[in-house]
Amino acid sequence: MVWSVTHSLLSVLSRLATRRLALALALASGVATTTTAPVHAVVGGSSAVGNTAVVRLVNGSSVCSGALWTSRIVVTAAHCVVDSTGNVTSGPISVFAPGVNVQQSSQTVLKSAVLTVDGWQRRGDFSQPDDIAFLILAADMSGGSIARIATTEEISAWSREGRIVTLLGYGRTSATGSSSPTPNFINQPLSTLPTWPGGFTATQTATTGICSGDSGGPVITQVGNDVVLIGVNSAASGPCSPSSRPSMTGFAPAAFPELMRRALELTSGTALPTISTGTPRDVTTSSAVLSATAAGNNLVTTTSFTYGLQPDLSGASVTVESAQVSGATPRVVEVAISNLMPGTSYYFRANATNLAGTVTGAIIRFTTLGGAPSVASGAATSIASDSAVVSGTVNANTVASQAFFQYSRVSDLSEIDGTIAAGDVAGSETATLTANLSQLEAGTTYYWRIAATNAAGTAVGDTQSFTTPAFKAGTSRTTNALVNALAIDPTGISKTVVVPAAKSRLQCAVNSRTKRLTFTRPGTCRVKITVTRAGVTSSGNYNLIVR
C-alpha cells in the first residue's frame, strides 16, 4: 500500500495540538519491483551508490530504506516493519548491503528482532508519532560509516540554524515510478516546523525531495571526520505529494534512548565506550591536567574524571566532566583541575558514559609539587642589653610562604613575648632572613626560633637562646670582651674602635691608656663599635645597661 498525501504539510502540522495524525505521506513503496536499467532514487537527487550509511529493506512486497548504525543494528521507520494488519511483522525482512546496486548484489542479511515503541501499530494511511524502529540483524553487516548518533540538543541547534543535511534512500524517482535499485541523495536544510516529540523536519521543494520507498532512509551530516546520523525519514510532502509548503518529517534515534539501549543489549553491548586513564601533565603546587584516551563506539559518549585523596577514591571525591567523544577512533581527552593542596598525593581515574553504559579506567596517583616549608634557626648576633638580631633560613618548597620569628623568656616558648614577620619566600631557593628584636630586658635569657607557613603546612625551627648583657658599675671591658659579649662576628677583625655617645659620658668612658670601656655609674651606656675586616669597616650602635 502507498501512503498518499491528502493535506498540505502546513495545514496538517497546524493541527498537531488537537490531532495525533499529521503528515500526509508515509514513504514505504507498495511493490518491490526491478527495472531493466538502474535509475536514481530520490526525486531530483544524485547517485549515492557506495554510500555506506544507507541500506535497502524488503518486507514482503514492501520496499523501504534504512540506516546502518552498527554492524548489527539498522534504524528505519516503524511503518516499514509492519504486516498487512498494521502490527509489527513476525515475517522475514531482508536487508541489502549498504550503498549497493541491489540488481548487482545478492548479499542480504535477515533481521532477528524488531524493536518499536511499545504498542506501536500503523493506523491508517497517515503518518503518526513514534515512527521509528530498530532492526537487529541476524549476522554482522560490514562496511557501515555512521560514527555516532546526533544528540537531541544538536538537532535542535542545527534546525534553528538551517543546517544543510543529506537525505538518502532507495525510493521512487517520481510519483508514479518504481523504487530504485540504487540509492540517491539530496542536500536540504533542516527546518523548525512543529512536529511530534522526537521528530524533526527538513525543507523540500516541489521538484526535489524524498518519495515512496525512501521511508526509513538516513538523514546524515558530517561533523569533523564523523558521519553523524540525525534520524530516519518518516513522511513527506513535495514532488511526490504536492503541497504549498513542501517538507519532510523524520524521527531521531536519540529521542528514543530506551529503544537504543534495548538494541545495544541485544547485540551484546558492542557500543560500550572504551577509556584508559592517562598520565597527568603540568602538575604544579595547586593544579594539574588529567588525561585519558577514549572511544565512543557509535554513540555520543561523555567523559569525566574522578579525583580525591583516597587510593580507592572513596569519601569526598570530586568528578569533573570533560569532552564528548564518538566513533571508534580513540581520542585524547583532558581536563584541568585546580585548588589542590601542595605536596599532596591525589588519585584519579577516567570515566566514559553513553547509552550502552559506563566504563572506568585504572586509578592513577600523582603528587602536587611543593610542601610545607623547610626552616632552620640560625644565630643571634649584635646582642645589646635591650636588643638582638636573630637569623634563620627558609625554603618555601615552591609554595609561597610567610616566615616569622618568635621569642620568649620561657624555654618551651609556651608563652610568646613577641612575633616578628620576616617576609615572604617563594620558589625553591633557600633564603636567609633576619629580624631585629627590641625592647628586651637586660640580663635576661631569651629563647627564639624561626618558623614559616604556607598552604601545605607550618614548619618550626630549633629553639635557640641568648642572654642580654648587664654590666656592673666600677667594672671595665676590653674591646675583645665587648665583641664577645655582644656576639659580634670576630672573624677577620683587624681593628676595633669603641666610642661612647656623648650623652652617656656619666655612665661610661674609654680609658685612654688601657683602651678599656669603663662603667662608672648605673644607667644606659650607648656606644658605637666600629670593626675593620680586610680594609672594610662597619659599625653598630649598642645600648649597654649598667647596674
- Tell me the C-alpha to C-alpha distance, in Å, between residue 161 and each of 165, 236, 250: 12, 21, 17
pLDDT at 24: 32
* CA 39 distance to own-chain centroid: 50
CATH, range 280-366: 2.60.40
Report DSSP letters for 420-484, one per residue: EEEEEE-SSSEEEEEEEE-SPPTT-EEEEEEEEEETTEEEEPPPEEEE--EE-TT-EE-HHHHHH
Per-residue pLDDT tens over the stretch 466-494: 999 999 999 999 999 999 999 999 999 99
Whether residue 152 contacts residue 9, with contact meaning beta carbons closer than 8 Å, is answered with no
* Segment 87-96 mean pLDDT: 94
Q: In what order do the strands lie in the sheet with 536-546?
A: 470-471, 536-546, 523-533, 493-500
pLDDT at 237: 87
Whether 374-467 and 470-546 share one fold: the answer is yes
Q: Where exactly are the structural domains of the chain?
A: 21-266, 280-366, 374-467, 470-546
Alpha helix ranges (H) inside 212-323:
257-266
Q: Distance between CA 117 and CA 280 in Å, rounded?
A: 45
* Segment 193-208 mean pLDDT: 91
Say which CATH class 470-546 falls into: mainly beta
pLDDT at 15: 33
Q: Distance between CA 530 and CA 526 in Å, rounded?
A: 13
Q: Distance between CA 390 and CA 446 in Å, rounded?
A: 11
Per-residue pLDDT tens over the stretch 345-403: 999 999 999 877 789 999 999 999 888 899 999 999 999 999 999 999 999 998 899 99
- Tell me the C-alpha to C-alpha distance, in Å, between residue 377 and each of 397, 406, 452: 17, 11, 11
Whether residue 121 contacts residue 128, with contact meaning beta carbons closer than 8 Å, is answered with no
Other CB atoms within 10 A of residue 71 CB: 16
Phi/psi for 155 (5° steps) reads -65, -40
CATH, range 374-467: 2.60.40.10
Q: Picking from 6-10, 47-51, 200-204, 430-434, which range would have the lowest pLDDT averaged per residue?
A: 6-10
In CATH terms, 21-266 corresponds, of 3.40.50.300, 1.10.40.30, 2.40.10.120, 3.50.50.60, to 2.40.10.120
